[in-house]
């Protein structure tokens, strides 16, 4: 009997091929044929799964988000339970920065997606929804930390969440070698130290 194709697995293989291609040559002139070649399949096979470049990009970015969430989950599972909210936020921020190959490839993929989304209403709506979902998760951690007394009650959770996410701006500085990974993480740690200055004891790294 012919081998049954796992369609989700094939889509994920294509997504990873897209990440590699973007990581290596950028997305400006990247074609579906280039991605098919990277994935080791024909253009026709790729188009069977993705009818357009936009559909392929959307799936690849969604899959990247899922992989980031899995890495965050694994990192948090290795911490003493339950993890301190400072540790949760640090892990989340660190995984959004291009500090290792997987995160770097996915970060570049996301950057390419945002550039495409600026000129495509459908992609813009999907990208915005994804960003808002991630932002809501971070704000939930901040609000709970305020409720639990880890962050001072006079702090504005909306503003503090915005300031935390602004730290992802280190992505550009890291990609252009304007700062080192150690310097970026030091800035993240300093900001978290100030946010969690409540006198409630050590918050962990």
Q: Domain-by-domain residue ranges, the chain?
A: 53-195
What is d(CA 56, CA 49) in angstroms, rounded to the nearest whole number?
8
How many angstroms separate the CA atoms of 201 and 49, rounded? 53
**What's the pLDDT score for residue 201?**
44
pLDDT at residue number 199 = 44
Inter-CA distances, 14 with 4, 6, 78, 132, 139, Å: 17, 12, 31, 26, 33
pLDDT digits (tens, 9 = 90+) for 131-140: 999 999 999 9
Q: Rounded mean pLDDT of 138-167?
A: 97
| Between residues 62 and 152, the one the model is more confident about | 152
Distance of CA 12 to the CA centre of its chain: 16
53-195 fold:
Tetracycline Repressor; domain 2 (1.10.357)
**Digit-coded pLDDT (tens) for 89-127:** 999 999 999 998 888 888 888 888 888 889 889 889 988
202, pLDDT greater than 70: no
* H or E segment and range at residue 139: helix 121-147
| Average pLDDT of span 58-65 | 87
């Amino acid at each position: 009997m012919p081998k049954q194709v796992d369609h989700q697995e094939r889509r994920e293989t294509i997504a990873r091929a897209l990440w590699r291609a973007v990581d290596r040559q950028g997305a400006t002139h990247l074609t579906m044929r280039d991605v098919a070649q990277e994935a080791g399949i024909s253009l026709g096979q790729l188009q069977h799964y993705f009818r357009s470049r936009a559909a392929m990009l959307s799936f690849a970015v969604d899959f990247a988000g899922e992989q980031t969430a899995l890495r965050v989950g694994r990192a948090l599972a290795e911490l003493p339970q339950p993890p301190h909210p400072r540790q949760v936020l640090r892990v989340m921020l660190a995984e959004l920065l291009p500090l290792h190959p997987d995160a770097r490839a996915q970060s570049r993929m996301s950057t390419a997606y945002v550039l495409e989304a600026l000129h495509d209403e459908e992609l813009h709506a999907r990208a915005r929804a994804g960003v808002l979902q991630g932002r809501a998760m971070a704000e939930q951690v901040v609000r709970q930390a305020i409720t639990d007394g880890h962050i001072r009650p006079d702090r504005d959770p909306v503003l503090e969440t915005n300031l935390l996410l602004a730290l992802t701006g280190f992505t550009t500085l890291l990609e252009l070698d304007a700062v080192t990974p150690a310097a970026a993480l030091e800035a993240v740690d300093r900001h978290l130290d100030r946010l969690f200055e409540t006198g409630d004891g050590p918050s962990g790294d």
